[in-house]
A = this chain, B = another copy of it.
């Protein structure tokens, strides 16, 4: 199709995680929150009038800006709403990088980063890293590429020492990391912000499940090149709403706003998001429930022989056991891909990627206790049946 740009026609495009229409499926594949949104969200939606729908919404999503500013103890001009965190990522890349420029991101990481880079016609700089300490019982080599051994303070990811000379206009870091769940400390992020000369996007999609103070909010006042990404999809149980927001210095947001859609968030989304972020009591309840289940599920998975790094997000990246416990019957253990497929056939969706360094792992979203129990029962059956 010569009508369109070659970087578009040659691209594979982004493949979202499976979204089955069958609601009986236990969905532990796309990091949705298992708990419903605050009841105040539903009230706010039902209070929207026909008159609000026939008029254009607030271009700035003003009520949300004010509510989020209150929660973060900032002035509203530090907040800018987007139609999901994904729109923010797309806009940030387009604002910072031309076709001649490069976009840097960790790999493996959120698989949308390379897609957006390709759509922008920019060059990708892939910062490879390793995810976990090699298990002493592992009998095969992890393909650890391009990472110097001294840097693989694992499950830590490692940037090149000379980050200041990375020829990228924009660097995308997801923290807590995906898919490992690891949380990078603030002093490390501050070091990068100080030394990296371009725009530093810290994608905090999962930060609601990290310890208090683990987010980079305190760095925003200090560094004019930091753009924080937040979303209501995970911590606020609103993946269906498409609502994300940026936190950054107002002078940066004023520029970013020009690249954004003029009315990116609709009247219903503004009302719902404002209600959600204003109900911090409810937010903290579900947050604690997810964290408690994460602790329990991690311990159970370890007892089944999975190895997994500590997670500060709402998912666990579990390396499938490649050994059989002494005395167990049967043949070779199932591969990660086999486990994913077997679980799917039993109505449980987890995420699997046939990609270097993670093809021996499955990513499991933290469900509610009932969902997690069903998963554990099936995993036990699958591992025992070998």
Contacts and interface: CB of A to CB of B under 8 A. Distances in A.
A211 interface: no
B37 A259 contact: no
B265 A242 contact: yes
Interface of A: 1, 3-5, 7-9, 11, 13-14, 16-17, 19, 21, 23, 27, 30, 32-37, 41-42, 45-46, 48, 50-59, 83-84, 86-87, 90, 94-99, 112, 115, 119-121, 169, 198-199, 224-225, 233, 237-243, 251-252, 255-259, 261-269, 272
Per DSSP, are chain A's interface residues mostly helix, strand or loop, or mixed?
loop
Given A267-B241, A268-B45, A272-B268, A4 B255 contact: yes
Contacts of A51: 23, 36
B58 A19 contact: yes
A239 B83 contact: no
Given A98-B99, A119-B94, A264-B83, A53 B240 contact: yes
Nearest to A119: B259
A243 B269 CA distance: 13
Given A5-B97, A98-B99, A258-B14, A53 B241 contact: yes
Contacts of A1: 251-252, 255
Contacts of A199: 3-4
Contacts of A54: 32-37, 237-240
24 contacts: A3-B224, A3-B252, A5-B97, A8-B255, A8-B259, A16-B56, A16-B59, A19-B58, A27-B55, A32-B56, A50-B237, A52-B240, A53-B239, A54-B238, A56-B240, A83-B266, A86-B262, A86-B263, A90-B261, A94-B119, A98-B121, A112-B262, A241-B268, A242-B266
A46 B47 CA distance: 9
Contact of A42 (B50, B94, B237): B50
Contacts of A34: 54
B119 A263 contact: no
A59 B239 CA distance: 12
Contacts of A13: 257-258
- Between A48, A55, A98, A233, the greatest number of chain B beta carbons within 10 A of the residue's beta carbon is seen for A55
Contacts of A269: 266, 268-269
Contacts of A7: 98
A57 B240 contact: yes
Nearest to A8: B95
The 7 closest A-B pairs by CB, nearest first: A36-B50, A240-B267, A13-B258, A53-B240, A242-B266, A54-B237, A56-B239
B261 A19 contact: no
A45 B240 CA distance: 13
A86 B57 CA distance: 14
A255 B7 CA distance: 11
Given A99-B121, A242-B266, 8 more contacts: A3-B252, A7-B98, A13-B258, A16-B262, A42-B50, A98-B99, A241-B267, A268-B269
Contacts of A86: 261-263
A262 B3 CA distance: 22
B35 A53 contact: no
